[in-house]
Every structure is written in structure tokens, then in C-alpha cells.
Amino acid sequence: MEALMDFSGLAKTLGGRLLTGEGKQTNLGSGHDPDQFSSVSIDSREISPGGLFVALRGNSLDGHRYVHSAIEAGAYGAIVESKAMENTSMDLASLCRNKNIFLIIVEDSLKALQKAAAIYLERFPDLVKIGITGSSGKTSTKEIAAAIIGREKSVIMSKGNYNSETGLPLSVFQVRAHHEVGIFEAAMNQRGEMRALAEILTPHLALITNIGTAHIGNLGTTDAIAAEKKEIFAFFNNNNTAFIPDEDNYRDFLAEGVRGNIIFFGMNTFKEKESIKEMGLSGTNFILDGKNCSFKLPGKYNFANAIAAISLAKELSVSSESIIKGLESVKPLFGRGEIIKGKRTLIRDCYNSNPESANAALDFCDSLSWPGRKLYVLGSMLELGEKSETAHADLGSRLASSSADMIFLYGEEMKAALKRINENQNEINRVCHTTEKDELSESINKNIKDDDLVLLKGSRGCALESLTDMILGEAYVL
């Protein structure tokens, strides 16, 4: 496999000590050239031969306890913290000596991983780096942008939801010399995280999809969320470009003080918005530069993500033909607005949930003309902190006025929604609530009929996708 970096050079740049297979600290100035590593992992189960294992210390697990496993799996070396070297039960020094591997010893292995990723990325000065963040829609926007831009340029993007303080650095190590554009998703749930991610990436183009209440339990207010998201522009200079949603309440705040160019995107600035025609579960049809385009992801929220991706593509001079072909090739990601058909039709939108995305899903389902019944299955919206009860109560008000024939609520937090529904409408029998997954499944199964339309919407922790087979009832197609 292609070598990424060498141990001695990385240790020197990180300011760490390099312990070699001889069990002594290497004199980095002596010209010693240790073996190189070809991949980076923080999970000993995913180590490839010749890889570098980074031992991270978490709240419940200490990665240092898996250094032995990583070496047995073929890692050539590891980044470890100095405190772990003092732990006699781990005896990492003996491991280093006996297995002839390399240890880079640092004070903070997470910061070392992030700095190593930034150093690695500097090797590709011609790579156009795009950072995408926002309270919702960032993964879909990233995938759509890659589908479009990848028609004309060699694109590398962060896989799945590798967007965190550990996920983004790991994604960076996937960049290779032939890549022309890198599209990276950046997420945070604590203060200071976005700036750390921006420092790793130093994006040329950075886009914020929206500002909502996701992770408000950790940050406290939407003002704080907006300020944190804005940190993606922290390392801009006059040559960078910020993409800001034109209809967001924080539009002006996000644009204020940005060093570089600003492009506003959204329905207000979409020049051919008059051509947009919503096609229900079939997506959206519209005209782009005089040509018809059929975008298959349903709902206004998905089309908003498409407009964001189009804005990025146009900035990179991607042709309208490639944009259209890219948009028409996009398929839903797992748990993000999937339409699955069996004896019933399922809208599986249960990868995540917050007040904004839940309301958007309800708006979409309410707008659909459907010959059968509509069943809405809503799981708790997590990580809302002290705002949780109010947010769930507000969701209850929205559900009370919805077009659902039956409503199924799951989770402790949904008690507030149930109470509000009961206060706002008289058809109490159409609402079921439980905190037990088996009871939820049994209740749905007892009430569901062929040709029903079912919405699954909830936070990832609710794992509502486990209901898929029961809801669809028989063989189904994506």
C-alpha cells in the first residue's frame, strides 16, 4: 500500500518522543529513517497491515488498552500518551521492544491525530478543500455535491458521517495525489470543536446549510450554535469563499466579518425558482440553465440541499450538463428520506431528528395527496437539554394539527408531545405512546393496514429503522 508518512518525521513535527523497536528514544537529528505507515485508525479492529494506531482516551474506553491488539493485527506503530507509558500493567515499552514497532509519545493523542491530519493535508496544495457544516442536511449536501462535482473532477469526500473531531482527521488521510477536490463534512456538539476542525481543513470553500437547534442541549442557545458553526470560516483569507443560506435567520450574523467572498444560496436567489415543481414522493422537477432536471430526493428540505450543492458546483465551473446528470443520479442515504415500498409505503427518515427536521418531515407528509391512511411514528429528539420538554410539546402542537390518521410516539421525552396533543385535539384514540420498542412494534402492527403511508422520524438513539420489516409486511424494494 502507498505510504502516507514516516514515523520519525511525524514525531518530530508533533513534538513527541519516538520510541523504536530497540527500546530507546531515537535521536531524530541522526538521519534515522524509520518505516512508514500506510493508513491511520483509532479502532484496533480496523487496522490494516502497515497502519498507524492512534490510542484515544474516551469517557468509557481507553484506546491504550488496545495497542497490543492493534500491533497483533499488523500495525507498525502507535501514537500513545505519556501517561500510558507510566502504566505498568500496559507495559507499552516492552511491547515496543519485543515487537519491533514504533511508539510516538505525546501529551494528548487526540490533538496529535488532528495535527497529523493537518500536516498530511499540507502535502496537497492543489487540492480544493470544501467544508460543509450546519444543523441539518450537511451529509446529504456533501453527497449531492460529490455526485455533481465528481462528474468532471476527481473527488474525495468524507465517508458516511465521519465528521467529528476524530472522524474528519481520519477522512483526511484518504486524500491521494490524484484528487482534485476534497469535500468534507464538519460537525460539532461542544464549544471549540468547529474551530479545531477548521484548523485541520483550512477550507477554500465553506458552506453552512442552516442554523437550528441540534445539540442545543450542549451549547445552550441557537445564538451559541450559530457562533460555533461560523467558526468554519475562522481560517479564511481574502481568497476564500463562504456559502451562506439566504433565508436563514442568522444570515447576516454568519456573513458579518467573513474574510473572503460571500455567496448567498437558497430559494430566494435560485434564478429559476419559478420552474420548480414538487412531485411528491418522486422528488422535484425544475429547469437549470434551460434544461430539464429530475431530482429524485423528495421534500423541500432535500431540494434545499440540492441548491446548496449546485452553488458549490457552479463556483468550481462545473457545467450545467454535469450538474443535471449528477443530481439525477443521487439516491437517498440510509435513514435520510428513503422511500421504501412494500404492502405499505414507508418514508424512513430516522437517522436523526431535531425540531426543524421533524417539522420539515411533517410538512412534507402533510402535503402529500395519499389515497390511503397516513401513520406518523415519531421517536424522541435527543440532545436538546433543558429545551427538550418545550421542543417536544411544540412538536405535539404540530402533530395535533397534522393530517395523520394515527400517531405513534416513542420515548420518555415524547410524553410532553402526548400531553400537548391531548390538549389540542379530541381524537385521543388516534395517538399511542410508549417507551418500550416491543410495545411500539406491537401497537403499529395491530393498527397498520395495506396501502398505508408510514413516516418513521426520530433521533439515531431511537433506532426506529428496526421497525422496517414489520411495517412493510413483505418483500419490498428501495
pLDDT in tens, 226-242: 999 999 999 999 999 99
Q: Among the CATH numbers 3.90.1010.10, 3.40.1390.10, 2.115.10.20, 2.30.110.10, which is that of 5-109?
A: 3.40.1390.10
Helices vs strands, H then E, count in the chain: 18, 22
Distances (CA, A) of 233 to 155, 182, 359: 22, 17, 29
Q: Per-residue confidence at 24, pLDDT binned at 50, 70, 90?
A: very low
pLDDT at 273: 86
Mean pLDDT of 188-205: 93
Render the burial of 248-257: b for 16+ CB within 10 Å, e for the rest.
bebbeebeee
What is the distance between the alpha carbons of residues 151 and 397, in angstroms, rounded to a whole number? 44
Could you tell me what percentage of the chain is helix, strand and coil, using 3-state DSSP and rounding each to the nearest 5? 40, 20, 40
Q: Per-residue confidence at 332, pLDDT binned at 50, 70, 90?
A: confident
Mean pLDDT of 31-44: 78
Residue 383 has pLDDT above 50, yes or no: yes
CB-count burial class (<10 Å; 0-12, 13-18, 19+) for 278: middle
Please indicate whether residue 28 or residue 186 has the higher confidence score (pLDDT): 186
Residue 427 has pLDDT above 80, yes or no: no
Residue 338 has pLDDT above 50, yes or no: yes
pLDDT at 106: 96
Mean pLDDT of 282-287: 94
pLDDT at 434: 97
pLDDT at 306: 96
pLDDT at 162: 84
Give the tens place of pLDDT for each residue, 210-266. Answer: 998 776 776 778 999 999 999 999 999 999 999 999 999 999 999 999 999 999 999
Q: Per-residue confidence at 30, pLDDT binned at 50, 70, 90?
A: very low
Q: For a pLDDT cut of 90, what percent of the chain falls above it?
A: 75
Q: Per-residue confidence at 377, pLDDT binned at 50, 70, 90?
A: very high
Same fold, 5-109 and 124-329: no
pLDDT at 215: 67
Which run of H or of E encompasses 118?
Answer: helix 109-121
> What is the homologous superfamily of the domain 124-329 according to CATH?
Mur-like, catalytic domain (3.40.1190.10)
Residue 123 has pLDDT above 90, yes or no: yes
Residue 426 has pLDDT above 50, yes or no: yes
Please, which contacts does 45-53 make with residues 24 or more away whose CB atoms are closer than 8 Å? 45/69, 45/73, 47/73, 47/74, 47/75, 48/1, 48/74, 49/73, 49/74, 50/1, 50/74, 50/75, 50/76, 51/75, 51/76, 52/4, 52/7, 52/76, 52/77, 52/78, 52/79, 53/77, 53/78, 53/79
What is the distance between the alpha carbons of residues 300 and 266, in angstroms, rounded to a whole number? 11
Distances (CA, A) of 371 to 56, 69, 228, 336, 446: 53, 57, 45, 24, 21
Q: Per-residue confidence at 418, pLDDT binned at 50, 70, 90?
A: very high
Q: Hey, what CATH topology would domain 338-472 get? A: Protein-Tyrosine Phosphatase; Chain A (3.90.190)
Quote the mean pLDDT of the chain.
Answer: 91
Please state which of the ranges 83-92, 344-353, 359-368 shows the lowest mean pLDDT: 83-92
pLDDT at 93: 87
CB proximity list for 153: less than 8 A, separation 6 or greater: 180, 181, 316, 318
pLDDT at 477: 54
What is the distance between the alpha carbons of residues 241 and 335, in angstroms, rounded to a whole number? 31
Residue 53 has pLDDT above 80, yes or no: yes
Domain map (residue ranges) of the chain: 5-109, 124-329, 338-472
Residue 151 has pLDDT above 60, yes or no: yes
What is the distance between the alpha carbons of residues 467 and 476, in angstroms, rounded to a whole number? 14
